Structure 1
């Protein structure tokens, strides 16, 4: 059978239409705007107010605004937060669109200019942006030669230290991050500032600045030790991250044991307190309940032991000892003091005597 001339073209058209229908409409994901910061003035006198506005930040993010010296937008804050006027910093929270506006005082930083307005997130994913600000009357000096240096981690970081008895009872777990870095740049690195972050589970790390005192010359290496600790009672899987000059250098996992001493303390507390309350309650009830005289007398009589009484009877066939006749008793059936009682089957008249005719 001879195929039709337009059959191949029709099949190709149908296959293309089917592919388009299966693929569906394609939309390009809109790019998220990059964070930006603008200042109401680029130059201000010491203590003057500067309005800082920002856009493109994460909605609901908490930001910290600082005026820092010895810094540039390209290199960032070289000396860390030690170069900033921390006492005059401001905190602001972005709105639902990621924007903010805050008045910041142009306080003189502890380091000379060049100066910047440092804006950084406090929690969650880290975002940092520096904007140049010139402060009139503040000294200005050239930047140190640390920008030419380049640090790299040469060995695998390790965590030194162990828990103690206090940690077992909820004290903050503490460790020392030990690693070796080398200067791969052409200039020395003096007093580098590292960022140390700790993250629990899937949460973002909380970053803290750790400055190491010393100078690393080009081509040299140095062992760095950074101490840190977690919050009291922390336990679970943690991850320690190391960052320098906005570059992640290394990460190290850390499994923190549960403080079983705290659990044991609460278990003992739940057992001892109810037992003590029960004992105190029983003592109070025993003191307050009414006393029954009969029951107390019976209990007292049961506790007294009566002495044993021995009754001696005269033997049959033996004459009683000579002596004065016994005094008349108080009545029938009652024995005088010191004599044996009469047997119940004999009456006083029928008792045998010595002159009885039947007595041998």
Structure 2
């Protein structure tokens, strides 16, 4: 069937709204009519080329939710009309990683930047009207009015779920909240430093607060984001890394934060080094942000790494298990503990996607959302 989507024809580049053809769902696939999609910085990393993809054109979007339009043959568990939230990382439930409780590292993730079906790198679910294959961002392409996806990427949710808010559970919330709770293992009474208070950082703030952190210190140069973080669970918000580190040390007899989480828009080694200097002995730096995929090297003291037993951990999707954690986070939202509405600061049409990203770069949004 015909649909419209936002595609990148090259990187660096901007999203272009164009007509697409989306496949009928095969076995273990569903076709979904999109309701909402978050404007995540990761898609902007694709546009700048920081996060290279294998196939152009590529239809963007990986944080979204919608309603099942049709179901492939011999595909149990889904029916037309079901509401689903996408997990930007698939979970097969069978590989070593899924079986050991690390669904975020599922082996199916090997092809997420190829944009093809998992089992066949030459088979694509989207194409241009002239037949040119179009890659799917993370296998789902939530910047399309309709998209066909593997059931490995879809989580069915209750009929009363507000998908225009719950779409954030597909990336921002799980990534940020999990960076604090799962990857950072924040404990009650901890002092936590969070560098960057956009969509991911704001979710990390909530995760740290939910875990019982005594002090959640946000570092962000944008006053609007600092102010918003204080409504989401931050206890302090400052403009510079130096201020944040000094504040953390003042609360800990000069030791530093227990956990530092790096969720800046475009990460460099210097950001990691700043976080590293701000943690105590046996403290943890959680690296969640993305930047230039070719960059290497961290300007940190190896002696300090060894003698202070400091830890630096990468965090993909907040080390979460999406099949378990997305329903759990939805329950937290429904119970009033998790704030989603407050994180959505602007809504856009699909045609205004580039304006949404301009607003993100200008620091005007915590999370912008496309409403279809």
TM more than 0.5: no
Higher Cα Rg: structure 1 or 2?
1
Q: Counting strand residues as a fraction of each chain, which structure ranks higher?
A: 1
Task: Identify the structure with the greater helix proportion.
Answer: 2
> TM-score with structure 1 length normalisation?
0.21
TM-score of the pair, normalised by structure 2: 0.21
